Amino acid sequence: MDALIVILGFIILVAGHQLPWIFVATVGFVAGIFLGEQQILALSGLKLITFSIGLAIVSGLLVIYFRRIMVVLAGFLSGAYVCYFLPKSLGWSTSWVSLPVLLIAGAICAVIILIWYSLPLILVSSLTGATLVIQYVQFQRISELFLFIIFFLFGITAQWVLLQYSRPTSE
């Protein structure tokens, strides 16, 4: 399952803005894993994978009818996810992470996506993709911070270039 998460991380790293349904479905999948592992549900193995895939499919399909709302909701969850897991992945202290901090981080991401949409979505999907990749892949002799910066910059650059080429030119 780690390989699937890394692949999804790379996909949203490169095309999170251009394919919002994949961004929302990936966030739904990761949220399904997080929720399924909690004490209330306590899912494992095939049940956890099925629950996560089901949540990803439902959230990906809801983008068809409620695109802006689902992208903003995914932005909220992504902001909280990055705030919670990025410091852990980098080996930093996480004593400052609490529920109010996660809610504030998620709210900030949701509001900026709601207001400006394109550029914040590129930023948030690049942060989320880079966090997913460094969280589940371990490289020897390369620091996680360096990898995060490289993946993050790669994601922003790739999505910016794709955004520029997707706009019609005025002649």
Per-residue confidence in pLDDT tens, the chain, 171 aa: 788 899 999 999 999 889 999 999 999 999 999 888 887 777 888 888 998 999 999 999 999 999 999 999 999 999 999 999 999 988 888 889 999 999 999 999 999 999 999 899 999 999 999 999 999 888 888 889 999 999 999 999 999 999 888 776 665
H or E stretch including 143? none
What pTM was computed for the model?
A: 0.89
- Please give the torsion angle defined by the CA atoms of residues 152, 153, 158 and 161, in that order, rounded to the nearest 10 degrees: 140
Return d(Cα 48, Cα 105) in angstroms, integer. Answer: 27
Return d(Cα 97, Cα 45) in angstroms, integer. Answer: 28
Exposed/middle/buried for 114, CB within 10 Å: 0-12, 13-18, 19+?
A: middle
